[in-house]
Amino acid sequence: MTKPHGLQRLLRGMMASRSQALVVSDVGMFEFRRQLEYKAAMRGCQVRVADRFFPSMTDWSIVRDAHDAARVLQSAVMPAAIVRTAHDLPNDPRLWAAGFWRWLERPFIGRHLVPAAPYRFDGVAPPLARPAPTLGQRNQEVRSERLGRGAAEREQLEHRRVIAMRAATRA
């Protein structure tokens, strides 16, 4: 136990067996540490407690691909996952396989990627019939069909910049 990384070797050996790994994880780290210190003192050994982010873990993880590291840790019954940025999400094959992404056509923007609804009805995602309207896209429809206003009034409001089809640029 006086050698550096002795506890790591002990834990690695214990975690090699799934049944031992479950027992160690069930005991809880406080009790495990208490027992380890007790037994070390009986044998005249010393237990050194490493910081949570011990350099050996950093050394181990820095030379591995994120997917490989997560797989290895998960196989050792350790919770691990890859943290992704929002920019990386469209490249995730699992999200595509789960039907998370959909292509939509939108005025002024064209074809672009949007996330599907995060819920399912009987295991089926609801259809994405149309995208949300862009700024001013339905002005004419609402003003004429629903409010009964004429084209002349609409043109006057557009000229005065009360309503618009696009976001105004700053002058």
Alpha carbons 158 and 5: distance in angstroms, whole number: 73
User: How many domains does the chain fold into?
Assistant: 3
Strand-pair partners of 114:
102
Alpha carbons 80 and 70: distance in angstroms, whole number: 5
Same domain, 142 and 123: no
Residues 151-171, mean pLDDT to the nearest whole number: 77
Give SS3 for 104.
strand
Same domain, 53 and 13: yes
Which contiguous run of DSSP H or E holds residue 151? helix 151-159
pLDDT of residue 50: 67
Which residue, 75, 97, 123, sits at the end of a domain?
75
Q: Which of 45, 17, 14, 54 is nearest to 32 (CA)?
A: 14
Residue at 160 is within a domain: yes
Q: Nearest-5° angle of CA 81, CA 85, CA 88?
A: 95
Same domain, 67 and 12: yes
Which residue, 46, 75, 104, sits at the end of a domain?
75
Residues of the domain holding 143: 133-171
Residue at 30 is within a domain: yes
Going by the DSSP 8-state scheme, the letter that residue 144 receives in this structure is I
pLDDT higher than 80, residue 69 = yes
Residue at 60 is within a domain: yes
Same domain, 28 and 65: yes
pLDDT of residue 46: 80
Residue at 110 is within a domain: yes
Residue at 80 is within a domain: no
Residues 23-62 have pLDDT tens digits of 666 666 777 788 888 888 888 888 877 666 566 777 888 8
Alpha carbons 83 and 77: distance in angstroms, whole number: 18
Same domain, 40 and 11: yes
Residue with structure tokens 């005991």? 27
Please name the amino acid found at residue 130: R
Residue at 1 is within a domain: no
Same domain, 19 and 54: yes
Residues 80-136 have pLDDT tens digits of 888 888 888 898 888 898 888 988 888 777 888 888 888 888 888 788 777 777 777
Same domain, 106 and 159: no
Residue at 142 is within a domain: yes
Residue at 161 is within a domain: yes
